[in-house]
Structure 1
Amino acid sequence: MQINQNTSIQKKRIAVLGAGFSGISAACYTAKKGYEVHVFEKHSSAGGRARQFRTENGFAFDMGPSWYWMPDVFEQFFNDFGYQAKDFYELKSLHPQFEIIFKDEKVQVPEKYEDLRNLFEQIEPGAAQQLDKFMDAAKIKYEIGMKEFIYKPCHSWTEFASMRILKNAGKLDLLSNFDAYVNKFFKDARLKMIMEFPVIFLGAAPSNIPALYSLMNYGGYALGTWYPIGGFYEVIRAMKTVAQELDVKFHFNAEVQRIKTDSNSIQSILVNGEELEFDEIISSIDYSHTEKLLPEEKRNYDDKYWKNRTFAPSCLIFYLGIKGKVQNLNHHTLFFEHELATHIDDIYTHQQWPEKPLFYVCCPSKTDPTVAPLEDENLFVLMPVANDLEDNDAIREKYLEEMLARIEKHTGESNLRDRLVYKRSYCVNDFKKDYNAYGGNAYGLANTLKQTAIFKPAICNKKIKNLHYTGQLTVPGPGVPPSIISGKIVANEI
């Protein structure tokens, strides 16, 4: 491993553990400050959960994120380094943004807001005006949240004592739950589902998510649903390019095995059996796993703490290559023929495989000819599930059969199973093995009220002065934009 260990060099040396969104973001912002930055990634490529793999028969699969919302956050990242997103990849606005399959009908969410208003009015008279009220309030939350709230390191509540936050505290709806909030505006179950769907990304039932997060609706429906041509991995590729322009050094197939400390600081990290010294460590890998690399007395939190957290779900994912085109399928489709509450209960209350599962299908080949052979389709199929479930091939296949049958019913296609030319599954055991994810979770900690802001795991180690944490288990929370922001927050702590 080519790392200069000459301690006579005065430049402060930073080690970043993990090359996902938060890790690369942290690496870029610390390198911009003039530090020597090294990123250590256990896999052979950057991206973490947002890695991409290609098959011999011409498919390119994004392994994780597929929903490009809050485009201003991505733009701000590149602007901070003198670039624009368009310098690296082409963004395409999706129309429809997505489609929801209900029990007896389907609803397409249109690209333009005015068309969305018309859709709401058709479903429920008076709902267009209610939508305007909802989105006006969501815009205020978004503007305050993104400028005053989300970039805080959350060491204490005093950070939120700005005049703007205090003046608009009542408009942030911090103490209302999202489900009750939506019910104030809409009566029709379909409209409620359209409005509640975005917060599912936050890892909990809408009844357990603060109404503050209606800002997600503005970040999606008002700012649009986008897709980077080439796949979501193009964002990782672009961020890595920015990092390398800043002279960040990436070390792949490099797993951190131990963090060695003295009384109140880190002395070194052990990487593939080699001991390396750094002045500061930023860990973007699983928070609880990072702490297991430390002596017990140096950890922020014990096992009991983690067991008492509310984690976002895990997922059962299938990467499918389909021979021939699949008609009547959009880029994003939500199969919500059953009750959301039933599926949520199976995840959080019963902690079992769902009896009436909901799932999501992304078909990027509808938009992007580069991710599949020209006449074929690329399908990413995702079903949220509880953490720490029994996970084996037989269970995975059972749900694949059900999901394929429901896709066939919706599209009018037949024999999708016989048309599979590529299949790979990914679930609880894989999240544990690949990412050391606590319980096999896919998205980190849920953004419940008791796990928001200063109630999240601390961004700095309380016993070691030069160890910091970033990513979806600390502030600001789960999701790609928050992870990018998390990297910037922790860099400002160095």
Structure 2
Amino acid sequence: MKKRITIIGSGFSALSAACYLTQSGHEVFVYEKNESIGGRARQLKKGGFTFDMGPSWYWMPDVFERFFADFGKKTTDYYELVKLSPAYRVYFGIQDFIAIADNLEEIVSTFESVEKGSGNELRKFMAEAKSNYDIAIKDLVYRPGVSPLELITLETTKKLGQFFGNISKDVRKKFKNEKLIQILEFPVLFLGAKPSDTPSFYSFMNFADFGLGTWHPKTGMFDVVRAMETLARELGVQFFVNSNIEKIIVENKIAKAIVVNGERIDSDLVLSGADYHHTETLLDSEFRQYSEKYWESRVFAPSSLLFYIGFDKKLENISHHMLFFDTDFDQHAKEIYDDPKWPEAPLFYANFPSVTDKTAAPDGMESAFFLIPLAPGIHDSEKLREEYFGKIILRFEQLTAQSVKENIIFKESFCKNDFVEQYNSYKGNAYGMANTLLQTAFLRPKLKSGKVRNLYFTGQLTVPGPGVPPALISGKLVSSLINKQFLNE
């Protein structure tokens, strides 16, 4: 039976759900607070430069293919992918870096050249990581987090110990060189927690990295947003931007409507792809599932200080993705998770899309995206932003042996306050709720409200977790639950 469904937000999970629900025959209306579709994956255009404002890593290409295949499509129907070579560089000192190749054989050789015997250890580690990937990404993450029994399969019982070990210990058992250890610990940072708090089973992220490679949509990650929006419109989804949701109206414990810019809009069901905590504040207090104390007790992924920069020249010694691990990795992690404060000597990430995509910057110029991970909820000010930009740009110049500061045409920043203001993000987090052992699958906030009928949630604070591929999956999972409810009515 056709239902009228209202979706709050237009990030990856909301776009995914919109497609699946429309495919199932429902009328779907998407309301986006900001002026453009995409949620955190919006685009910034300025002075001939183009930036992805949010996600910039395209990993797990099979998940994207699986999404489009569900609609009889392929990614190539909408956008072109480029496999990055090298995938990324990791800097440890002045002109001291390790480049990660676009294939496992070369990566094995690189490891062996740094630490004798590590090549063979990497092969064994990656075999286990691939096994975990096949179990997790091809099966477990497509389960809705309704019951702990979802995690119990023949394959997972064989790997039970991996849910109680952690990535940090595993890597250190096999590798002694600190540079190699940090490279292997890096991928799980996408899950939003320290490697020492991330279960061993999550080594599947290493297979996503070394096994499947790092890709880039030809003109940026916004290509994926544009593709999903196009697919959604082809299916019949209707979009409304500049539509701030002020309240979810509940009558007789059933979600009946939303209030958008002062106007009541009725529907049969409300699905929120917006921040979970914020969505519950749109409800009267008796209809909220999770208390402020609950949210305060959760481990959240970091916030970020971001800079979008246009340079008036081509830069030297750069690659598309660059990680700067020339300071203490563990200390920065402590300053995010254990003793939240602005880091003394932050690690940072730099992305130069114009290395790959010539449309990202005018001829002879370079576009750049710098990111410092920060603790969510800390104080944010223009003064602090400028202070930290000074720190990282000086190190960038030293580490890459070039002068660039005087070549900046423009610079825009985005930090905790902006995440709160533009995305209603809890404490200004950038990536959602971390995937620790106690925040995995059925232990995450539920896709379906337990207090309000016909109210559902999707996105990085619910199942399966943070990241773009999980967001696509989250949209599919919640759509299945919604259709199951309608079939049983």
Q: TM-score, normalised by structure 1?
A: 0.96
Instruction: Show CA shifts across 1:68-93 (max 9, x none).
Output: 11010111111111111111111111
Matched, 1:159 2:154: no
Q: CA deviation at 1:459?
A: 1.0
Q: Alignment partner for residue 270 of structure 1, among 259, 265, 272?
A: 259
Q: 5 Å matches for 1:300-379?
A: 300-379=289-368
Q: 5 Å matches for 1:4-153?
A: 11-55=2-46, 57-103=47-93, 105-153=96-144
Look up the SS of the partner of 2:367 in the other structure: strand
Q: Alignment partner for residue 252 of structure 1, among 241, 245, 255?
A: 241
Alignment partners' CA distance in 1, 2:139 and 2:247:
37
Could you say which residue in structure 2 is the equivalent of 1:286? 275
Could you say which residue in structure 2 is the equivalent of 1:470? 458
Alignment partners' CA distance in 2, 1:455 and 1:478:
14
Aligned amino acid, residue 98 of structure 1 = Y
Matched, 1:189 2:174: no
Q: Alignment partner for residue 204 of structure 1, among 193, 199, 213?
A: 193
Q: CA deviation at 1:148?
A: 2.3
Could you say which residue in structure 2 is the equivalent of 1:6? none
Q: CA deviation at 1:381?
A: 0.1
Alignment partners' CA distance in 1, 2:315 and 2:138:
42
Matched, 1:428 2:416: yes
Alignment partners' CA distance in 2, 1:404 and 1:164:
47
Alignment partners' CA distance in 2, 1:393 and 1:191:
36
Alignment partners' CA distance in 2, 1:380 and 1:88:
25
**Does the CA-based 8 Å contact 2:347-2:372 persist in structure 1?**
yes
Alignment partners' CA distance in 1, 2:180 and 2:277:
38
Look up the SS of the partner of 1:153 in the other structure: coil
- Uncovered stretches (5+) of structure 1, i.e. residues with no partner: 1-9
Q: TM-score, normalised by structure 2?
A: 0.97
Taking a change above 3 Å as real, the CA distance of residues 330 and 143 of structure 1, as seen in their structure-2 partners, is: same
Alignment partners' CA distance in 1, 2:470 and 2:389:
31
Alignment partners' CA distance in 2, 1:75 and 1:229:
16
Could you say which residue in structure 2 is the equivalent of 1:456? 444
Look up the SS of the partner of 1:147 in the other structure: coil
**Does the CA-based 8 Å contact 1:100-1:106 persist in structure 2?**
yes
**Does the CA-based 8 Å contact 1:284-1:471 persist in structure 2?**
yes
Matched, 1:440 2:461: no
Aligned residues: 481
Alignment partners' CA distance in 2, 1:295 and 1:201:
34
Q: CA deviation at 1:269?
A: 0.8
Q: CA deviation at 1:94?
A: 0.7
Q: CA deviation at 1:404?
A: 1.0
Q: CA deviation at 1:108?
A: 0.6
Look up the SS of the partner of 1:443 in the other structure: coil
Alignment partners' CA distance in 2, 1:208 and 1:62:
30
**Does the CA-based 8 Å contact 2:459-2:474 persist in structure 1?**
yes
Q: Alignment partner for residue 231 of structure 2, among 209, 221, 242?
A: 242
Aligned amino acid, residue 51 of structure 2 = F
Look up the SS of the partner of 2:93 in the other structure: coil
Look up the SS of the partner of 2:421 in the other structure: helix
Q: CA deviation at 1:221?
A: 1.0
Matched, 1:224 2:213: yes
Q: CA deviation at 1:456?
A: 0.5
Could you say which residue in structure 1 is the equivalent of 2:371? 382
Alignment partners' CA distance in 2, 1:160 and 1:431:
33
Aligned amino acid, residue 199 of structure 1 = V
Alignment partners' CA distance in 1, 2:93 and 2:399:
10
Aligned amino acid, residue 208 of structure 2 = G
Matched, 1:489 2:477: yes
Aligned amino acid, residue 416 of structure 2 = V
User: RMSD of aligned C-alpha atoms?
Assistant: 1.1
Q: CA deviation at 1:417?
A: 2.3
Could you say which residue in structure 2 is the equivalent of 1:177? 166
Q: CA deviation at 1:103?
A: 3.1
**Does the CA-based 8 Å contact 1:148-1:165 persist in structure 2?**
no
Look up the SS of the partner of 2:204 in the other structure: helix
Aligned amino acid, residue 422 of structure 1 = F
Q: CA deviation at 1:410?
A: 2.2
**Does the CA-based 8 Å contact 1:283-1:469 persist in structure 2?**
yes
Instruction: Show CA shifts across 1:455-494 (max 9, x none).
Output: 1111110011201110000011001101111000000011
Alignment partners' CA distance in 1, 2:137 and 2:339:
35
Aligned amino acid, residue 450 of structure 2 = K
Alignment partners' CA distance in 2, 1:199 and 1:147:
18
Instruction: Show CA shifts across 1:224-246 (max 9, x none).
Output: 10011111100000000010010
Look up the SS of the partner of 2:392 in the other structure: helix
Aligned-pair identity (%): 46
Look up the SS of the partner of 1:150 in the other structure: helix
Alignment partners' CA distance in 2, 1:145 and 1:478:
14
Aligned amino acid, residue 340 of structure 1 = F
Look up the SS of the partner of 1:492 in the other structure: helix
Alignment partners' CA distance in 1, 2:146 and 2:191:
22
**Does the CA-based 8 Å contact 1:42-1:253 persist in structure 2?**
yes
Q: CA deviation at 1:159?
A: 2.3
Could you say which residue in structure 2 is the equivalent of 1:407? 396
Aligned amino acid, residue 81 of structure 1 = F
**Does the CA-based 8 Å contact 2:256-2:269 persist in structure 1?**
no
Look up the SS of the partner of 1:86 in the other structure: helix
**Does the CA-based 8 Å contact 2:93-2:399 persist in structure 1?**
no
Alignment partners' CA distance in 2, 1:75 and 1:159:
24
More displaced stretch, 222-231 vs 172-181: 172-181
Q: CA deviation at 1:219?
A: 1.1
Look up the SS of the partner of 1:493 in the other structure: helix
- Uncovered stretches (5+) of structure 2, i.e. residues with no partner: 483-489
